[in-house]
Amino acid sequence: MKNQSRVLSVILPNNKELSMTVGVKDRGQDVFKQLFKLLGTSDLTLFGLSVEKDSQPLFLDLEQKLSLYLPKSWRKNTSKEKVILSLKVQYFVENVQLILNSDTRQLYYAGLKGRVLRSKCFEQEGLYFQLAAYALQADLGDCEEHNFAYFSPQGFFPFWIVQKHGNDYILKHTPALHRELKGMSSSEAALLFIQEAFILSDVPLTIYRLSKKKKKPQGCVLMGVTSTGLQISEVISKSCPITSFMPCVSYWTHKSYSTYKFSPAFSICKNQYYSTWGRIEIHVGSI
């Protein structure tokens, strides 16, 4: 059977959209090959291709066919809706200097910035103002002394901070922090932004919702994938969402990151859960 052509879009971390033509038999790695050419880099090791499924982000196994993740209507060429994949940060490194390609560093910075805008670490409110100052220096350069509204608060602060303080408060107080960075290069400001962003616990973290029964949200747990292990919280009701917390219950290799197969080093009891990508087993206990 001929590898018929299909069109899809890839949203980059900086919100730019790339349209590309792929084959219906193509795999995720074929999309990456096109991205290498379009972006002028072959260093996308920290990134993955993500698709929304059941209101959750699902990273593609790049060795699998795209048709495994995309609607049947796309494969049959009957879809009237645009098919969208997202290039997202999948693996986190605090030391951005390990990323040698400058364009890749910019994408990584943009990915972390997007996560900061969605972050909800309410106890770290002051940190968001400092992060906004770093981002302003990275994006705009030195502060515009005579321009009151030289940036949009929504582009540099989480919604809950804008809602709490209002645009005028943010536009009045943030420039002072921005002015302190006068003369700092864009790359240095981006580096400081990334380092400080790692303080926010929900930034270098990807959360998945797991259910004890297929397609039933009752009795679910939240599994957070971090750079050092798993964070697992159980949800029993809206009024009491979290009943347990087990940080860093496992250590895994690069292979298990890619395939979402987690093997904790210790086990007493075994719990079986279902997620968007299938069944997984979580072993908890002590050594």
Four-point Cα dihedral 180, 182, 188, 194, nearest 10: 40
The residue among 197, 224, 242 that closes a domain is 197
d(CA 78, CA 67): 14
Residues 153 and 162: beta-carbon distance below 8 Å: yes
Q: DSSP of 186-217, one letter per residue?
A: HHHHHHHHHHHHTTSTTSS-EEEEEBSBTTB-
Output the pLDDT for position 38.
93
Residues 118 and 187 in one domain: yes
Here the tokens at position 14 are 């900086």
What confidence tens digit (pLDDT) does each residue in 199-228 have?
Answer: 998 899 877 777 766 655 555 777 777 766
Which CATH number goes with the domain that contains 77? 3.10.20.90
d(CA 186, CA 138): 4
The residue among 89, 120, 136 that closes a domain is 89
Output the pLDDT for position 228.
67
d(CA 212, CA 11): 33
Which CATH number goes with the domain that contains 184? 1.20.80.10
Residues 49 and 58: beta-carbon distance below 8 Å: no
Its domain, for residue 79, covers 5-89
Residues 228 and 152 in one domain: no
d(CA 218, CA 236): 7
Residues 77 and 119 in one domain: no
Residues 140 and 232 in one domain: no
The residue among 52, 73, 89 that closes a domain is 89
Output the pLDDT for position 37.
93
Low-confidence ranges of the chain (pLDDT < 50): 239-270, 272-274, 277-287
Residues 167 and 137 in one domain: yes
Domain total of the chain:
3
